[in-house]
Amino acid sequence: MDVLGVILGLALLFGLGVVALVVVGVVKAARAVGEKMERQEAKARRAVENVTLKAKSYTQTGPQGQISGVRLSLRTSLDGTRQVLESGLAQDGQLGESLALLRRLDAHAAELDGELRILEREPDSARIAAKLPELRERAERITHSAETMRWAAQDRMHRFADDELRRLSQECESEAGALRHWDTSEAAGPSGAAAGAAAGSAAGGSAAGGPAADGSPAGREQAQRAGLTDGRNGRPSAEELLGLVDPLTRLTDRMRKPSAGPSAG
């Protein structure tokens, strides 16, 4: 019974754990879907607002049209800078600091946009004329800061792209040289063949001319050395060894040889 109770308890704990994991996964998935929908909704609402502001800046005249133009330029500058930084963040981690600064700048821009929206609904034209220059000046400062970061990020990405392209071009040239290795082989081939032919000719000439054709001391020494069957220095010739020479001729040859005894002098 104790073993069965332990098994049931473990099974119950396992089932509770599985249920807890499923609940946590469902909650996280629902939260992720909700955040994604909120981001999409915010993007859609922002796009609609941008289109509306663009239409107002072109159709309305006076302070109302100027306010719409200031709000549109502020949004366009921040959106363009955000897109550039986010697109280059995967290749350059240092752009994360720029994104953090852009978020702080975006907070100031949101506050300014709220003030401009309130001023846009202001019925008093005198108050609009008094407040608009100050708000425009703040918008220009925010826009300039955003554009400065965007241009710097673009220059940085361009520089990195140029460096990478330069290294890649050098690697491609090295690979092309390795693929054309037969050019060097063919250039060295004819010269090597000519040298081999010259060496072969020299060797053939030496073989044809014999030892006497060589004028070097080694050649002379080799010429002075007698062979085993050339009949020099008292050695019998090949004909003598084979019995092909007439006995009288052999006797004559032996009598013609100088004696090595004392009476030779």
Provide the pLDDT confidence category of residue 59 given band limits of 50, 70 and 90: confident
Is the alpha carbon torsion for 243, 245, 249, 250 positive or negative?
negative
Q: 235 or 82: whose pLDDT is higher?
A: 82
Q: Which pLDDT does position 145 carry in this prediction?
A: 93
Provide the pLDDT confidence category of residue 128 given band limits of 50, 70 and 90: confident
Provide the pLDDT confidence category of residue 237 given band limits of 50, 70 and 90: low
Is the alpha carbon torsion for 256, 257, 258, 262 positive or negative?
negative
Q: Which pLDDT does position 185 carry in this prediction?
A: 59
Q: Are 106 and 142 within 8 A, CB to CB?
A: no
Q: Are 79 and 109 within 8 A, CB to CB?
A: no
Cα(171)–Cα(120) distance, rounded to whole angstroms? Answer: 59
Q: Which pLDDT does position 265 carry in this prediction?
A: 39
Distance of CA 184 to the CA centre of its chain: 26
What pLDDT digit, counting tens, does each position of 12-51 carry?
888 888 888 888 888 888 888 887 777 777 778 777 777 8
Q: Which pLDDT does position 140 carry in this prediction?
A: 94
What token pair was written down for 126?
């005198």
Provide the pLDDT confidence category of residue 228 given band limits of 50, 70 and 90: very low
- The mean pLDDT value for 240-261 works out to 57
Identify how many contiguous H helices and E strands the chain contains and give both numbers: 8, 0
Provide the pLDDT confidence category of residue 148 given band limits of 50, 70 and 90: very high
Q: Which pLDDT does position 213 carry in this prediction?
A: 44
Q: Which amino acid is at 238?
A: A
Q: pTM higher than 0.75, yes or no?
A: no
Q: Which pLDDT does position 238 carry in this prediction?
A: 56
Q: Which pLDDT does position 139 carry in this prediction?
A: 93
DSSP state of 62: T
Q: Which pLDDT does position 53 carry in this prediction?
A: 81
- Judged against a pLDDT cut of 50, whether residue 264 lies above it is answered with no
Q: Among 12-21, 114-123, 137-146, 228-237, where is mean pLDDT lowest?
A: 228-237
Q: Which pLDDT does position 16 carry in this prediction?
A: 85
Q: Among 55-59, 199-203, 207-211, 240-244, where is mean pLDDT lowest?
A: 207-211
Q: Are 229 and 235 within 8 A, CB to CB?
A: yes
- Report CA Rg, the chain: 52
